[in-house]
Amino acid sequence: MNKILLLDKVAKAAADLLHEHADFEIDMQNNLTREQKLSIIDQYQAIVIRSATFFDKNFIDKASNLKLIVRAGERTDKIDKKAVSFSSYCCQYSRSSNQLCCDCG
């Protein structure tokens, strides 16, 4: 089963929507330190972040199972796009914090 990590107080409605459309294991984690996030990231196939997490090369190096990075918000300013460009990750953002973006196309 695919596991999705929701960080930074992503709305519970996002988790509910994911459960409605697919069989994912959702893990909502708020208030984790950067070190705690880095220590668990390898357990997930997808991550949804907001403004409290900067997804950089350190995360990429630790995220051995990750396939998708989603920034809940208007921009991808919290994702190191240069570091991600050297990886095989799909990187998306939602056009508003109330939407989920699940399209890698």
Locate the domains of the chain by residue range.
3-93
CATH of 3-93, one of 3.90.1520.10, 3.40.50.10800, 2.70.150.10, 3.40.50.720: 3.40.50.720
Identity of the amino acid at 62: K
Cβ-contact 94, 101 below 8 angstroms: yes
Please tell me the pTM assigned to this model: 0.77
| Cα 66 to Cα 2: distance, rounded to the nearest angstrom | 10
pLDDT along the chain (105 residues), means of 10: 88 82 86 95 91 88 88 74 68 50 38
